[in-house]
């Protein structure tokens, strides 16, 4: 930006490129709402007041707010490529995201990361990639790649990454694992992941350079983590939703410590309600004042991550702006990115091309297996992983009847090891069918749920080499959603992908009317060995609290 040109426009001596006339500015710096024109020159805001422009847009009575920022998301979890994801979220008012690509890194390592970096450059969305810290997430499962401290340092120095992604291996950190400690010295920004961590263990974790956490599930947990210096990301995704609990903790004193994130959110839900805009709307409905809600959704994330001149409507700030007809964020009337209109009334005004996917395709490589390999004896003493709706935290239960449980499988899919983890789960039941998918945080082996071994066998074998989600009923394939990018993402357009996924989930309801949403969550997260209390790896049931395999298995 030429400073002389900027000053002339800020002083009103020269017309701005674009002026938004007569809007209600949501001021997240001074915590106020006032009316005025917003002048834009190139990619920055020149000021708020009375301005003229070469292009003038009448936004009288509308709300002008800074572009929204998602402080933590896994793009792969939307099942969209980065380019398709960018088109979708920009249309919903999100202009910047901090993305952790550890899903694809666990499948394809450096090749997967390079795909995300190159694909992300092909869009106006600011994607600040964080370098995955846990590939694999733990040493108790098999994934497709290993990125140790030495490789992490090489990748960071190579460029393209903003900081270190969520340090999920908190047991490794607390046990002074040499490789984990080396990673903590590589990047200036380190994202956290410390569910239920407390006391001296939390002190040790937070004091090692961790800057935030998005795993809070209780009010006490929020306050304790803020006291240790952690910023709190209020998560409202598809599987995990913490906003209802955490909003109680937002006060004028704690406000600067909060930002919104989605972590994992499916495409259909994004199309329907947005991401950070949905968080803002829900926070307002729960009684938070409008300005505070927008503050959490914009400038707080920018400040937490050290982004300069981002996240506010003020002179010299990046011209990332959304315009809404009401106080709610719902398909914004205008979305500006770097001073240019990129979306209008919920529709992206740009198109980007997907880069070549050859390096991240055909990633399913399993060993031949039979129905008997999936069998697991069930008795009254068989341990059962108990699932609660809308929670990733799972307990262990006994004394369940066979009619109350479903068989769950975790099959290694990267190197054809033949490893098959097996358990029973409760909280829902699957009737005469099965679902299998190549999505299973974070090693992304095949996870499957079903009524019996035969249905599960067919579902797994229907995934082929590309991977995706397969649904079987009465030993017949009824639905298949192809995920041709690493078995995680689709090359389909957002609306088409959402349509396919909706059709599949409707068939899930036929298999389990009372637990269809929970089933999809379980398939995705039951293998996540860093969320308490019991999970399933490709080697068996895992006790997260003790960080070892369940003793009786």
In the block, residue with structure tokens 């950070």: 276
Split at pLDDT 50, 70, 90, the class of 240 is confident
Which pLDDT belongs to residue 390?
65
Q: How far is CA 329 from CA 215, 272, 346, 425, in A?
A: 25, 12, 10, 38
Q: Whole-angstrom Cα distance, residue 172 to residue 208?
A: 13
- How would you class 2 by CB atoms within 10 Å of its CB: exposed for 0-12, middle for 13-18, buried for 19 or more? exposed
Task: Express each pLDDT in 261-293 by its tens digit.
Answer: 999 999 999 999 999 999 999 999 999 999 999
Which pLDDT belongs to residue 460?
98
Which pLDDT belongs to residue 458?
98
Task: Express each pLDDT in 521-530 by its tens digit.
Answer: 888 889 998 8
Domains (ranges, CATH) in the chain?
Answer: 67-311 (3.20.20.140), 361-549 (no CATH)
In the block, residue with structure tokens 């008012």: 93
Which pLDDT belongs to residue 62?
98
Q: Whole-angstrom Cα distance, residue 539 to residue 39?
A: 59
Average pLDDT on 331-358 reads: 94
Average pLDDT on 327-335 reads: 96
Per-residue pLDDT for 552 more than 80? no
Positive or negative, the CA dihedral 45, 47, 49, 54 is negative
Average pLDDT on 418-425 reads: 96
Which pLDDT belongs to residue 429?
87
Q: SS3 letters for 256-293?
A: HHEEEECECCCHHHHHHHCCHHHHHHHHHHCCCCHHHH
Percentage with pLDDT > 70 across the chain = 99
Percentage with pLDDT > 90 across the chain = 83
Query: Average pLDDT of the chain?
Result: 94
CA-closest candidate to residue 293, choices 305, 306, 276: 276
Split at pLDDT 50, 70, 90, the class of 553 is very low
The angle at the Cα of 501, spanning 498 to 504, to the nearest 5 degrees, equals 150
Q: What is the CA radius of gyration of the chain?
A: 24
Per-residue pLDDT for 151 more than 90? yes
Which pLDDT belongs to residue 1?
77
The angle at the Cα of 205, spanning 304 to 246, to the nearest 5 degrees, equals 55
Q: How far is CA 288 from CA 11, 24, 188, 294, in A?
A: 36, 19, 32, 10
Instruction: Please list the residues that pair with 406 across neighbouring strands.
Output: 425
CA-closest candidate to residue 526, choices 463, 452, 441, 446: 441
Task: Express each pLDDT in 428-481 by its tens digit.
Answer: 889 999 999 999 998 999 999 999 999 999 999 999 999 999 999 999 999 999
Task: Express each pLDDT in 296-326 by its tens digit.
Answer: 999 999 999 999 999 999 999 999 999 999 9
Task: Express each pLDDT in 480-527 by its tens digit.
Answer: 999 999 999 999 999 999 999 999 989 998 888 776 667 888 888 899
Structure-block tokens of residue 24: 């209600």
Task: Express each pLDDT in 73-84 by its tens digit.
Answer: 999 999 999 999
DSSP letters spanning 394-420: BEEE----GGGEEEEEEE--SS----E
Task: Express each pLDDT in 202-215 by its tens digit.
Answer: 999 999 999 999 99
Task: Express each pLDDT in 406-415 by its tens digit.
Answer: 999 999 999 9
Q: Where are the alpha helices (DSSP H) in 11-145?
A: 82-91, 102-120
Average pLDDT on 4-15 reads: 97
DSSP secondary structure letter of residue 135: B
């Amino acid at each position: 930006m030429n400073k002389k040109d900027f000053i002339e426009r800020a002083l009103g001596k020269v017309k701005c490129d674009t002026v938004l006339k007569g809007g209600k500015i949501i001021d997240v710096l001074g915590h106020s709402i006032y009316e005025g024109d917003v002048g834009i020159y190139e990619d920055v805001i020149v000021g708020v007041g009375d301005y003229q422009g070469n292009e003038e847009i009448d936004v009288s009575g509308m709300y002008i707010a800074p572009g929204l920022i998602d402080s933590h998301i896994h793009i792969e979890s939307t099942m969209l490529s980065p380019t398709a994801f960018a088109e979708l979220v920009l249309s919903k008012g999100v202009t910047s995201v901090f993305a952790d690509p550890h899903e694809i890194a666990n499948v394809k390592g450096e090749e997967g990361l390079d795909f995300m970096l190159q694909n992300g450059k092909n869009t106006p969305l600011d994607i600040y990639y964080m370098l995955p810290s846990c590939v694999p997430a733990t040493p108790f499962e098999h994934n497709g790649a290993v990125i140790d401290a030495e490789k992490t340092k090489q990748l960071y120095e190579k460029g393209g990454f903003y900081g270190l992604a969520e340090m999920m291996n908190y047991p490794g950190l607390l046990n002074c694992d040499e490789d984990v400690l080396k990673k903590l010295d590589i990047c200036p920004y380190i994202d956290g992941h410390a569910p239920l961590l407390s006391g001296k263990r939390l002190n040790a974790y937070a004091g090692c350079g961790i800057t935030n956490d998005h795993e809070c599930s209780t009010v006490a947990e929020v306050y304790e983590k803020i006291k240790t210096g952690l910023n709190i990301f209020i998560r409202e995704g598809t599987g995990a939703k913490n906003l209802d609990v955490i909003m109680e903790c937002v006060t004028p004193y704690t406000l600067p410590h909060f930002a919104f994130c989605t972590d994992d959110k499916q495409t259909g839900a994004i199309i329907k309600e947005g991401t950070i805009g949905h968080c803002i709307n829900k926070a307002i409905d729960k009684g938070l004042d409008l300005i505070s809600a927008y503050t959490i959704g914009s400038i707080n994330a920018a400040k937490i991550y050290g982004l300069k001149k981002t996240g506010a409507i003020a002179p010299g700030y990046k011209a990332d702006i959304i315009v809404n007809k009401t106080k709610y964020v719902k398909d914004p009337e205008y979305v500006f990115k770097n001073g240019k209109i990129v979306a209008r009334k919920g529709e992206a005004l740009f198109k980007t091309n997907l880069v070549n996917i050859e390096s991240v395709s055909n990633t399913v490589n399993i060993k031949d297996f039979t129905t008997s390999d999936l069998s697991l004896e069930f008795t009254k003493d068989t341990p059962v992983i108990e699932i609660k709706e809308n929670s990733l935290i799972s307990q262990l239960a006994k004394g369940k009847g066979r009619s109350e449980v479903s068989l769950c499988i975790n099959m290694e899919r990267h190197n054809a090891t033949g490893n098959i983890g097996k358990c029973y789960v409760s909280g829902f039941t699957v009737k005469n069918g099965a679902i299998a998918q190549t999505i299973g945080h974070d090693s992304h082996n095949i996870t499957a749920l079903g009524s019996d071994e035969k249905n599960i066998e067919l579902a797994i074998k229907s995934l082929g080499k590309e991977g995706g989600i397969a649904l079987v009923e009465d030993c017949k394939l009824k639905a298949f959603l192809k995920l041709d990018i690493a078995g995680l993402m689709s090359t389909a357009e957002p609306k088409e992908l959402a349509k396919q996924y909706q059709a599949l989930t409707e068939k899930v309801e036929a298999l389990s009317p009372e637990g269809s949403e929970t089933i999809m969550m379980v398939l995705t997260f039951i293998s996540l060995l860093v969320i308490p209390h019991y999970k399933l790896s490709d080697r068996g049931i895992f006790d997260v609290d003790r960080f070892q395999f369940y003793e009786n298995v």
